[in-house]
Amino acid sequence: MFLGIDCGTQGTKALILDADTGQVLGQGSAQHHMISGANGRREQDTGEWLTAFEQATAQALASAGIDGQQILGIGVSGQQHGLVLLDKNGQVLRPAKLWCDTESTEQNDRLLASLGGAAGSLQRLGLAIAPGYTVSKLLWTREQHPELFEQIAHILLPHDYLNFWLTGLARAEYGDASGTGYFNVREQNWDLALLRQIDPSGRLEAALPKLIESHEAVGTIRPGIAARLGINPHAVVASGGGDNMMGAIGTDNIHPGTITMSLGSSGTVYAFTDQPLVLAEPAVATFCSSSGGWLPLICTMNLTNVTTAVRDLLHLDIAGFNQAVATAPIGAEGVLMLPFLNGERVPALPHATGSVLGLNATNLTPANLCRAAVEGTTFGLRYGLDLLREGGLQSRVIRLIGGGAKSAVWRQMVADIMDTPVVCTEQTEAAALGAAIQAAWCASQGQQSLTQICQRCVRLDISTQTQPDPIRAAAYESVYRRYRQQL
């Protein structure tokens, strides 16, 4: 039995996997809260992550009906790009700045310029640093909180921090590390010179976690934490990874040919390659995978956060929202939403705000607003998928995950807008599943391949298979062209 944890923006999910049968035996979840500011601040109290970890694990064990002593390993998936700073005693210095935090956009602009712009960053790092990446958060901390900066002893990503809490060891793996902005994805090592540019003293370099490979375990869980969680004190803690890397494993996207698309707080589209395919388009981030390859990826910063905002505005539950979307026609009678509530990464519009266009006296209806929100966010994913396709990546089928994937209306919209068949995996919490699978891989110590474990544990939900309709696809193409003209 293996425990998979996914610490996301909105909450933590836990999942118990029987890796021999491939069955998910139990699940649990607990919420987090966001600390937001009008200046783009998006932070979280790391203490909430620990409380949620315990609560979600307890729920998962209870629903599985098993003894926690049967857990042989733990895998942790975490939201990418977040910054967790610890002092020499292992204490958190301030709330974690998250992937969706744009408060350090000015610092990112300066760092990007120092690298020679997007082209220079691509040449040096293999990706173009963007607002939200970890590196600009370090410079922001030095400038805004110099007294805290002097106390930094460990620089960790969210999943690294949870592994540190579990084991007392500071480790990082290539996949999540490649989203920091101070990691060379081709050579798979830290760019120490870039950190010295931020702080010549070498403090940041000394605070980096040791890099390990994806199949390696961080260590064994600390006895006190095992007792708190009610699990086996001999359980190994896997390397873990970023939520997208774990989502790739959880959808069996570990060989070329498959596209994974996540409809979560953010939207992501990614595909596996066995070589570092660095595209000239800076919006495509060629991250390392957590399965021994690379994971060219695009990320939109606005997805279910937008649909949730519209639902709240109109006082609709999820069923009511989906019904409203279904009743409005393609194109929402001319209502077009540019849903950039958090700025945007893809398209590259970090300073953008949201807009609703085309309103008149007859089309201003709740149904059209709902449909425009879903169409607008999905067009951002289409924009990103086009970039991947132009780079030579194939998309024979899209494996759809995330909360939005539960909507049949949205699934059909994705199939039509992308003009590609869509199917969901049985487990929509693919990141938690991927983390549990990776834990089984690490615990096997080479006795089983990741491919073998994925074949047993990743299952497609045939009832969700959705084919694109040529007539609807053509209608969406016209609306999508209008969307592109507004960018």
Instruction: Determine contact, residues 42/100, Cβ cutoff 8 Å.
Output: yes
> What residues pair up with 4 in beta bridges, in sequence order?
15, 75
Q: Tell me the pLDDT tens digit for each residue of 193-211.
A: 999 999 999 999 999 999 9
**pTM to 2 decimal places:** 0.92
Could you give the percent of the chain with pLDDT greater than 90?
Answer: 91
**Residue 271, exposed/middle/buried by CB under 10 A (0-12, 13-18, 19+)?**
buried
Q: Tell me the pLDDT tens digit for each residue of 289-339.
A: 999 999 999 999 899 999 999 999 999 999 999 999 999 999 999 999 999
Q: Tell me the pLDDT tens digit for each residue of 5-48.
A: 999 999 999 999 999 999 999 999 999 999 999 888 999 999 99
Integer Cα distance of 445 and 106 in angstroms: 45
The pLDDT score that the predictor gives to residue 395 is 81
Angle between helices 366-390 and 470-485 (to 10 degrees): 90
Integer Cα distance of 83 and 180 in angstroms: 9
The pLDDT score that the predictor gives to residue 345 is 84
Q: Tell me the pLDDT tens digit for each residue of 234-243.
A: 999 999 999 9
> Which positions are annotated as active-site residues?
243
Omega of the bond prior to 347 within 30 degrees of 0, cis?
yes
Q: Report how far apart, in Å, the C-alpha atoms of 422 and of each of 109, 249, 263, 383, 465 are.
A: 37, 18, 13, 17, 6
Helix (H) or strand (E) holding 14: strand 11-18
